[in-house]
A and B are shown apart, each in its own frame.
Chain A
Amino acid sequence: MTNKQTHLNLYKKIGLLALSLALVGIFAIACKAKNTSNGEYVSLPQAQKQDSLASIAAFKDVYAVLMHPRCMNCHPTGDIPLQGDESRIHTMLPQRGPDGKGISTMKCATCHAATGVPGEHTPPGNPSWHLPPADMKMVFQGKSARELALQLVNPEKNGHKDMQALREHAEDTLVKSGWNIGGHRELPPLSYDEFKEVWYAWIDNGAYAPSN
């Protein structure tokens, strides 16, 4: 091999390396700066698929569940939870409190035991019954699908969850209790397994926010 050929091979290798680095950089920026049409950023894990249509289609079903009384009643705009299939203000006016678990003699656990007693209209049981805390209220009530999607993926508004923690939130015992509420209370529009499927589909396809 001549000196000229050796130099050409070296230049090719350097060129390929530079091209590879540039592609990695572009991919990283693309993953970091999605959903930026209104200036809000959504950080996504590098390995995720990017299918905005599939993600937004899944979120339509996610939104229908999250805005159902079984979910939304504990994500109110005010500091008093909602109650019942009509999402009326909770009787007795229990307050959110700093940690979301109520105040002094009016804590959630005052009436909601770890397991409820059987019967119509008895308080549903859960060992961790609570609202979001006062310093991050994670309001669902009144939110559009786009507003809620952007809130869910923002760690400053979603309880400091990264995308993996957000994904795993589907396994939270209080989330699950929405499907095991007791009495004749209406259940969310999807089964729990169906909800998990669309929740994961929304996140795994990029956690896109719908346009409205």
Chain B
Amino acid sequence: MALYTINVNGTSHQVDVDPDTPLLWILRDNLRLLGTKYGCGIAHCGVCTIHLDGEATRSCAYPISAIENKKIVTIEGLSEKGDHPVQKAWIEHDVPQCGYCQAGQIMTAASLLAQNSNPSDDEIRRAMNGNLCRCATYTRINRAIKTASKEM
């Protein structure tokens, strides 16, 4: 076990965990931030996506020992009132069906739009390739990202 200080959603936390512990475990089990979901555990589905210094990152494959002083943002910290342009567009287009993947989808979409405020359909498809939706709501996801891009 080792003591780590991490910055999550602007707040500093100390956790005493094994260096190999994936960040997802710490977010959910130690900090009780349950918006980020566990899907595959091997970075294949994108459900657990969070931001590390603004970059979309799979928290299930990221050990706490590799975090260093990077700033972590989860779905809970993406916006103060749930009013990030992607979140608003998600509601407008009624994107979720079961909703399990949406935290990861939204975090990836927000990271894409932060880097490219007006992505083409092809750029959206390529950027979202790593986020699976078993309800296959991909059409609505892509439309919502287009709508959100108008506010960026």
Contact = CB atoms under 8 A, between A and B. Distances in A.
Interface of A: 91-95, 103-107, 109-119, 121-123, 125
A108 to B, nearest CB: 11
A111 B111 contact: no
B123 A122 contact: no
Interface residues of B, number: 29
Contact of B126 (A106, A116, A117, A121): A106
A123 B61 contact: yes
Given A104-B111, A104-B112, A105-B111, A111 B20 contact: no
Contact of A117 (B44, B57, B63): B63
A111 B58 contact: yes
Interface of B: 20-22, 41-44, 46, 55-58, 60-63, 65-66, 108, 111-112, 115-116, 123, 126-130
The binding surface of chain A is classed by DSSP as loop
B61 A92 contact: no
A119 B63 CA distance: 12
A116 B61 contact: yes
A103 B58 contact: no
A166 B57 CA distance: 33
A121 B111 contact: no
A115 B65 CA distance: 8
Given A104-B116, A117-B21, A118-B20, 13 more contacts: A105-B55, A107-B55, A109-B55, A110-B57, A110-B58, A113-B63, A114-B66, A115-B66, A116-B61, A117-B60, A117-B61, A123-B58, A125-B63
A115 B68 CA distance: 12
